[in-house]
Copies of this chain bind each other. A is one copy, B any other.
Amino acid sequence: MTQDQWVPPVVLLAVDLVILTLRQSHLHVLLVERGIEPYRGALALPGGFLQHAEEDITVAAHRELSEEADLDLETLSLEQLGVYGDPGRDPRGRVVSVAYLAIAPRLPEPTAGTDAAAAGWQPIERVLSGDLTLAFDHQRIITDGVERARVKLERSSLATAFCGPTFTITDLQDVYEAVWGIPLDPRNFYRKVQKTEGFIVPAGTARKATTGRPARLFRAGPCTVLYPPMVRPTESPSEKE
């Protein structure tokens, strides 16, 4: 920046996707098995390098999303999570990765009986606990992604993105409980989401019944910003960062 003759260093730019969904009331993340070195055979986030030097980063993220996860782009929340570029994180050279967070409603198993048995949706606990070993710094990225999702659930209507087009209030509560990892009182939750204007709106008279009283169906409301916000029960009194 100070001398015209000095040539700034270049880096390789990649995108990584943290795709979260809910399966059996548990938060899962999509992982793929790496087919090439480095970390061949290890689990990693879907992602890859820019296709060409002029590709937009957001476009690249969407491209990887459809390539590697075959997801409908329309109904998806996709948000930039951060940059991960520690020197040495990739043995191939200086690779800087832009991570994106995507929230998906319930989806079918992406890897149906192939040899990549370990790939596909993995419970988030296995990742956070270190039970699964991931390539690169992907555990870190996932940790950050989950934390971001937890915070976003408080002030945005993101939770409805985990659900299908219609859902019951109990479905929505399942989302909050799974992402936050804590139980909530159904009666207080019911009251809260009902009175948060624009969060959810009734969806016809259809009802869902398995056992017990059939639940009313709702649809995501017009507001994406919740006011007042949903509050996570006292995370831990007098918390430090």
* A238 adjacent to chain B (CB < 8 Å): yes
A 1-34 binary contact with B (CB < 8 Å = 1; else 0) = 1001000111111100000000000000000000
Q: B80 touching A83 by the CB < 8 A rule?
A: yes
Residue of B with least CB distance to A241 = B224
Q: B239 touching A225 by the CB < 8 A rule?
A: yes
Residue of B with least CB distance to A55 = B87
Interface residues in A, total, Cβ within 8 A: 46
- List, in ascending order, chain B residues with CB within 8 A of A80's CB: 82-83
Q: A8 touching B12 by the CB < 8 A rule?
A: yes
**Min C-beta distance of A103 to chain B, whole Å:** 14
Residue of B with least CB distance to A88 = B54
Residue of B with least CB distance to A9 = B53
**Min C-beta distance of A36 to chain B, whole Å:** 7
Residue of B with least CB distance to A235 = B227
* A50 adjacent to chain B (CB < 8 Å): yes
Q: B12 touching A56 by the CB < 8 A rule?
A: no
* A41 adjacent to chain B (CB < 8 Å): no
* A187 adjacent to chain B (CB < 8 Å): no
In this complex, the member of A53, A83, A234 whose beta carbon has the largest number of chain B beta carbons within 10 angstroms is: A83
**Min C-beta distance of A151 to chain B, whole Å:** 8
Knowing A11-B13, A13-B9, A240-B223 touch, does A96 contact B57 (C-beta < 8 A)?
yes
In this complex, the member of A8, A52, A228, A240 whose beta carbon has the largest number of chain B beta carbons within 10 angstroms is: A8
Residue of B with least CB distance to A93 = B53
Q: A224 touching B197 by the CB < 8 A rule?
A: no
**Min C-beta distance of A86 to chain B, whole Å:** 6
- List, in ascending order, chain B residues with CB within 8 A of A227's CB: 234-235, 237-239
Those 3 A-B pairs whose CB atoms lie nearest each other, nearest first: A8-B49, A9-B53, A224-B241
